[in-house]
Structure 1
Amino acid sequence: MSTHRPIMPIWTCGGCGAPWPCRTRRHELQAEYQDAPISLALYMGSCLVAATQDMGWAPAGLLHRRFLGWLL
């Protein structure tokens, strides 16, 4: 189990304090979902929706890049 879990409602990493998903968690998620990239995209999309509700003040483009922009 990763220590790099999101701390809500500001969506920072509980392991390193960086904006979640941090670099470490991104690598962990890519490894976890190596054979299921669509599932990873759906999971991160659901995180984006939740983060948008929690951080209505944040620009939508920034949140989109943060949660989905790193997916290949």
Structure 2
Amino acid sequence: MNGDGVSAAEVDPKLPSEHVPLRPLWLCRACGQPWPCGRAKLALLTSYQGNRVNLLLYLSGCLHEAIDDLHRLNPSTTGDVRNLFDRFLGWPARHRSRRR
């Protein structure tokens, strides 16, 4: 959250306008899939093309917020943080290794 109580996911102008996270559930508002959904990933890759570090920083902030939100919703079933890490930060690494 920034000083205005707005999350990184809500203020990033590069985020695809229709495939945004529904917080605190972290599901896609458009398709209902876990966010970032496939279309959000494609849009993020396009938006952050040539700026991989900023993409990873943005997704790291989203991961942190998702962990907090999901834990607040149900502390006993937050799940394995490794799964959330892969959901937010694993796919850019896999995408890069496929391009090489």
Shorter-chain TM range is over 0.9
Q: Which has the larger radius of gyration?
A: 2
Number of equivalenced pairs: 72
In structure 1, stretches of 5+ residues that fail to align are none
User: Partners in 1 of 2:79 and 2:38 — Cα distance?
Assistant: 20
In structure 2, stretches of 5+ residues that fail to align are 1-15, 72-77, 94-100
Structure 1 segments, 4+ long, off by >6 Å, are: none
Q: Which amino acid aligns with 2:56?
A: A
Q: TM-score, normalised by structure 2?
A: 0.69
Percent identity between matched residues is: 39
**Where does 1:7-22 land on structure 2 (aligned, <5 Å)?**
7-22=22-37
Which one has the bigger helix percentage?
Answer: 2
Deviation string, structure 1 residues 9-62 (Cα, Å, up to 9, x no partner): 010000110000000000000000001100000000000000000112121001
